[in-house]
Amino acid sequence: MVQHPAGSETPSTKRRPSTLAELRESGWQSRSVKSELRDNMVRALAAGDTLFPGIVGYDETVIPELVNALLAGHDVLFLGEKGQAKSRLMRSLVRFLDEGLPYLDVPPSFPGGVPAVHEDPFHPITRAGRAFVAGRDEREIPIAWWAREDRYAERLAPGTKFADVIGETDPAKLAAGVSMSAEDALHFGLIPRMHRGIFAMNELPDLDELVQVGLFNILEERDVQIRGYPVRFDLDVCVLFSANPSTYNRSGKVIPQLKDRIGSTVQTHYPRERATGMEITEREAGIDLAGEYPVLVPPFMREIVEQMSIVARRSKFVDHESGVSARFSIANYRVMVANARRRGIVLSERPAVPRISDLAHFHASGAGKLELDLMGSHQMSERQVLDSILAEAVGEVFAEYVSEHGLGEIAEVFGKGVKVEVGDMVPSRVYAELLKRVPPAWDKAFEVNASEDASVRASCVEFVLAGLWATDRVSRAERFGRVEYEL
């Protein structure tokens, strides 16, 4: 459930005014949307509220910068690579709006037309809004309430046209004889319609230059210019943007005048600690590990999944400018758990415990989530790059869990021609028999986890075998979830 700042009024706590007269008597006062955001932010800070529930790893970096931007009354750019919660941060600002906002409820039958925006009852900005209140008894002017969740709109820049976000002349009205320079001739886009709300534009550098010019006018003058005809409004909107640094900083992608008018730039980042990334992954994956076919995920398997993203972000085979989204970890985690659960269902294992062989299916979940560096990959296929990332992640986590002592002895056993085949659909109970020819590997699994549970032991055995492979002590061949280890 979304938490709202302390002091924000809910519909159940007080009857809302339904006429302009009642609104005036209630003491409600007009204020800009940025003042509204600032006031509710101040209230939340003073109350010690959690400002951005569900946002992890930004407490000392991103959040202070964002709070400062709101307190300063700025339009904000969120600058960061994909999968760094930029869109979530923008959407989360809705919680700092009031529970409801009053606006003129002009009936469709009004001869002067219905305003295209949610008019401030005390300060209407459109001709239709002003005409509706002019000379009318305030007790007969109806008021409706705009819910906070509806006061946010966002748009993805690619393909966005001027008419979509700024507006366009209405051919039907022109045909009826309305002057092209008149307000009545215009059909407003998303930004004017979000008057008294928040508008967000994702991937700003991909926005057409003409639309950027329109945004510049809005940020600078708060007016709307359509086909060269300026229509001055006291437009009240908080504008947010998101962008990738590699494209935002590229010359010619964003007009300098627009950059200059954005009040604050908030730089996002990937998790600084593996544990933070794991927390994000497990929360966002949203998997119920209980139920009729429960799944128990060992700590080292959680860490390997997250380490794969860490390795990918520094890999010479992956385009660093594109980044590696948290969705890479989330998708891999979900597939790993799903395959373990499939085994549990088929083999009646409760709980099912994920193994390295369950990650043999991560090519399906990882495909398309990495952009290869065409220079660094040296014509490696995406599958080969993914395999190299898995090997490196397994090797690094393996080194943290297992001591070097005894690994040479295991490699010597494999050197005598021993082969061990494991797999995602091999019953856990048979692993003890499979490892009889390599007893040191069975014993080494105790270092990882001393549990006598067959499913846990099977997972630990595969971890040891994969660690030997990742550290170049043995080789392996994988096919459809079956993995064979040999020297």
Residue 5 confidence (pLDDT)? 54
pLDDT at 36 over 70: yes
- Cβ partners under 8 Å of residue 29, min gap 6: none
Q: With 0-12 CB in 10 A as exposed, 13-18 as middle and 19+ as buried, what is 29?
A: exposed
Mean pLDDT of 73-100: 96
Distance CA 384, CA 192 (A): 49
Mean pLDDT of 283-304: 96
* 311/6: higher pLDDT: 311
Residue 139: CA count within 13 A, CB half-sphere: 0
DSSP state, residue 372: B
pLDDT confidence bin for 346, thresholds 50/70/90: very high
pLDDT digits (tens, 9 = 90+) for 3-23: 455 445 444 446 899 999 999
Residue 32's nearest CA partner among 125, 115, 114 is 125
Q: Please state the φ and ψ torsions of residue 149, each to the nearest 5 degrees.
A: -65, -25
Residue 180 confidence (pLDDT)? 54
How is residue 183 written in tokens? 């307000």
pLDDT at 295 over 90: yes
Residue 378 confidence (pLDDT)? 61
Mean pLDDT of 118-134: 94
Share of the chain above pLDDT 90, in %: 64
Residue 374 confidence (pLDDT)? 67
Distance CA 213, CA 221 (A): 12
pLDDT at 1 over 70: no
pLDDT confidence bin for 230, thresholds 50/70/90: low
Residue 227 confidence (pLDDT)? 60
pLDDT digits (tens, 9 = 90+) for 385-403: 999 999 999 999 999 999 8
- DSSP strand pairing (197-202 vs 420-423): unpaired
What is the chain's mean pLDDT, rounded?
A: 89
pLDDT at 404 over 70: yes
Residue 337 confidence (pLDDT)? 97
pLDDT confidence bin for 223, thresholds 50/70/90: low
Contact predicate 78/89, CB 8 Å: yes
pLDDT digits (tens, 9 = 90+) for 368-379: 888 887 665 566
DSSP state, residue 83: T
pLDDT confidence bin for 60, thresholds 50/70/90: very high
Residue 185 confidence (pLDDT)? 62
How many angstroms separate the Cα of 221 from the Cα of each of 117, 208, 218, 327, 344?
18, 20, 6, 39, 63
Residue 184 confidence (pLDDT)? 66
Residue 447 confidence (pLDDT)? 81
Q: Please state the φ and ψ torsions of residue 375, each to the nearest 5 degrees.
A: -85, -45
DSSP state, residue 53: T
Residue 11 confidence (pLDDT)? 43
DSSP 180-219: TTSGGGEEE-HHHHTTTEEEEEESGGGS-HHHHHHHHHHH
* 214/94: higher pLDDT: 94
Contact predicate 360/426, CB 8 Å: no
Distance CA 226, CA 230 (A): 7
Q: What is the SS3 assignment for 373? A: coil
Q: Please state the φ and ψ torsions of residue 237, each to the nearest 5 degrees.
A: -150, 140
pLDDT confidence bin for 480, thresholds 50/70/90: confident
* 482/156: higher pLDDT: 156
DSSP state, residue 15: P
Residue 482 confidence (pLDDT)? 85
pLDDT confidence bin for 2, thresholds 50/70/90: very low
Residue 7 confidence (pLDDT)? 45
* 210/264: higher pLDDT: 264
Mean pLDDT of 273-294: 95
* 104/12: higher pLDDT: 104
Residue 306 confidence (pLDDT)? 97
- Cβ partners under 8 Å of residue 87, min gap 6: 154, 200, 202, 242
Residue reference for tokens 């007080």: 14
Residue 380 confidence (pLDDT)? 81
- DSSP strand pairing (143-147 vs 100-104): antiparallel
Distance CA 195, CA 224 (A): 12
Q: Which amino acid is at 146?
A: W
DSSP 65-79: HHHHHHHTT--EEEE
Residue reference for tokens 């709109």: 153
Q: Which amino acid is at 312?
A: A
DSSP state, residue 367: T
Task: Spell out a b/e string for 358-389, using b for 16 or more CB atoms within 10 Å of the CB, else e.
Answer: bbbbbeebbeebbebbeeebeeeebeebbbbb
How is residue 461 written in tokens? 């055995």
